[in-house]
Every structure is written in structure tokens, then in C-alpha cells.
Amino acid sequence: LGLSGPPGAGKSTFIECFGKMLTERKYKVSVLAVDPSSSTSGGSLLGDKTRMTELSRDMNAYIRPSPTRGTLGGVTRTTNEAILLCEGGGYNVVLVETVGVGQSEFAVADMVDMFILLLPPAGGDELQGIKRGIIEMADLVAINKADGDLVVPARRIQAEYVSAMKLLRKRSKVWRPKV
């Protein structure tokens, strides 16, 4: 599964919770987390693993943060090979968390079985949903952080994206993207 979304959408937190649910059901889970690299120093914080404290201690989980090192599209130059290695290593589920900063970070969509776009409830106006690019590639749009005071804005964003998805050309004859 490939996961993308804007900063603050809760990608790492979602992966932590989803990954723990999978390992509790006896799946072996691999997480390939991609972090942006500094254009100045070339370094990267690789901080996504620190947000997955429980999953990182789980014996049925493997978390590998990697820097982009200038690669565009939200992944690293070797993400596809890393997915194959994880599958070959016996991991049932491979989750790829992209850099996920905008409309063009969807290279992972061609590497995975399902591409999920995570959005916060206050992710912009209704026009955000009909922008070409990442939204066209999503197999599933998940409105994250939809609790408490954010329930109403989350439902509104959901409705806007459902309407917007009807305007996009279908990528598959058998699957209609869900929101």
C-alpha cells in the first residue's frame, strides 16, 4: 500500500495504528518511510520512525526510513527494489509512506497494489479535490483526524471529494475510487 498526503495529515500516526492492527492479526508488516532530503546539506531527519514507537518495537514489523536524496515523485530511487526485498523477506504487507507534499508526489502509485491519499479535515477548499495529479491516482481517499470538533469539517470534505471524484476519468474498469 502506498500512502501519501500533505504534511500534518497524520500519515505516520495512521501507519502506526494500522500496522499494529495488522501485526495483532499475525501479519508481518514492513514500513518504508520516505523523508525529504535537504537541498543544502543533503541530510534528512528520518523522523517518521520516531512517530511509530509501538510499531517499531513490534517483532512482526520492520520500519525503514530513507531519504529522497533529490529523487522526485515522493519516493527514493530504490523504493521499488526495497518493496521487492520486503516481499521476498516474508512481509505480508508493505506500507510505503511517501514524502507527500503536493500534487505530484504519486510515483508510488505504479509500485503498489493500492494508493491511498490521506487528507486532514481542513485540507483546503472544494477545488483541492478536482486538481489533476495526485487525486487522479488515488484508489482510496481517507479523511484522517475526523473526530471531536473535526467531524463536521471531515464530513464536508468527504462530500466534496466524492463529488469531485465523479468528474475524473476512471483508471480502472473494475475499481471506482472510494472516499
pLDDT of residue 135: 80
Provide the whole-model pTM. Answer: 0.85
Is position 107 within any domain? yes
Mean pLDDT calculated for residue range 89-117: 84
Q: Which domain holds residue 51?
A: 1-37+44-76+91-165
Is position 29 within any domain? yes
Is position 170 within any domain? no
pLDDT of residue 122: 72
Residue 170 reports pLDDT greater than 90: no
pLDDT of residue 35: 78
**Residue 104: strand, helix, or coil:** coil
- Mind listing the pLDDT tens digit for each residue in 106-152? 678 889 999 999 998 875 554 454 456 778 888 999 999 888 999 99
Q: What's phi and psi for 20, nearest 5 deg?
A: -65, -40
Whole-number average pLDDT of the chain? 83
Q: Where are the beta strands (DSSP E) in the chain?
A: 2-4, 29-35, 61-67, 93-97, 115-119, 140-143
Residues 6+ apart with CB under 8 A from 50: none
Is position 85 within any domain? no
Matching residue, cell 487525486 = 135
CATH (domain of 146): 3.40.50.300
Tell me the C-alpha to C-alpha distance, in Å, between residue 54 and each of 3, 18, 95, 125. Answer: 19, 11, 16, 35
**Using DSSP, how many helices (H) and how many strands (E) does the chain show?**
5, 6
pLDDT of residue 49: 64
Is position 171 within any domain? no
Is position 148 within any domain? yes
Count of domains forming the chain: 1
Is position 71 within any domain? yes
- Mind listing the pLDDT tens digit for each residue in 51-88? 789 999 999 999 998 877 666 666 778 889 999 999 99
Residue 175 reports pLDDT greater than 90: no
Is position 160 within any domain? yes
- Of residues 113 and 47, the one with the higher pLDDT is 113
Residue 21 reports pLDDT greater than 80: yes
